[in-house]
Amino acid sequence: MTDIKLRARLEALASEYSNRADAIERDLSREHAQSFSEQATERQNDMVLQGLLADARASNKEVQQALVRLDEGTYGECEKCGEPISAARLEALPAASFCINCAD
């Protein structure tokens, strides 16, 4: 995959994670119901949303770091052992920073 296509793919992922985080933040900022039972359910839902928000932010950060590695010319190299990360792994996880052996 060319650097241009790879950059476009990574930027699309970053945009997707950012949009997801924005939508979750909007959901979390809504007002809660007046009844106690409904509030309890909404608070449980908020805990799930907070977890999803943390995941979206972490994934976006990983993609941003992958873009930095792409700019530096180190994208696709394992950050631990320096060996190439397999194309199949990068296809499945474009922001992967470790080869499969080091990720274990």
pLDDT digits (tens, 9 = 90+) for 22-81: 999 999 998 877 787 787 788 889 999 999 999 999 999 999 999 999 999 999 999 999
**Spatial separation of the C-alpha atoms in residues 59 and 61, rounded to whole Å:** 5
Q: Is residue 38 part of a domain?
A: yes
CA geometry: angle 22, 54, 41, nearest 5 deg: 80
What is the residue type of 34?
Q
Asked if residue 97 belongs to a domain, the reply is no
- Is 3 or 93 the better-scoring residue by pLDDT? 93
d(CA 8, CA 27): 29
The SS3 assignment for 12 reads helix
- Specify if 84 maps to a domain: no
* Inside any domain, residue 49: yes
Give the range of the structural domain holding residue 56, as residue numbers without chain letter: 3-75
Any domain includes 53: yes
Question: Is 57 a member of any domain?
Answer: yes
pLDDT, residue 40, reads 79
Query: Residue 93's beta-bridge partner residues?
Result: none
In a domain, 87, yes or no: no
Q: Could you tell me if residue 96 is inside a domain?
A: no
Q: CA 44 to CA 16: how far, in whole Å?
A: 25
- This prediction has a pTM of 0.83
Query: What total number of domains does the chain contain?
Result: 1
Q: Which of 7-16, 26-35, 95-104 bottoms out in mean pLDDT, i.e. has the lowest?
A: 26-35
Output the pLDDT for position 31: 84
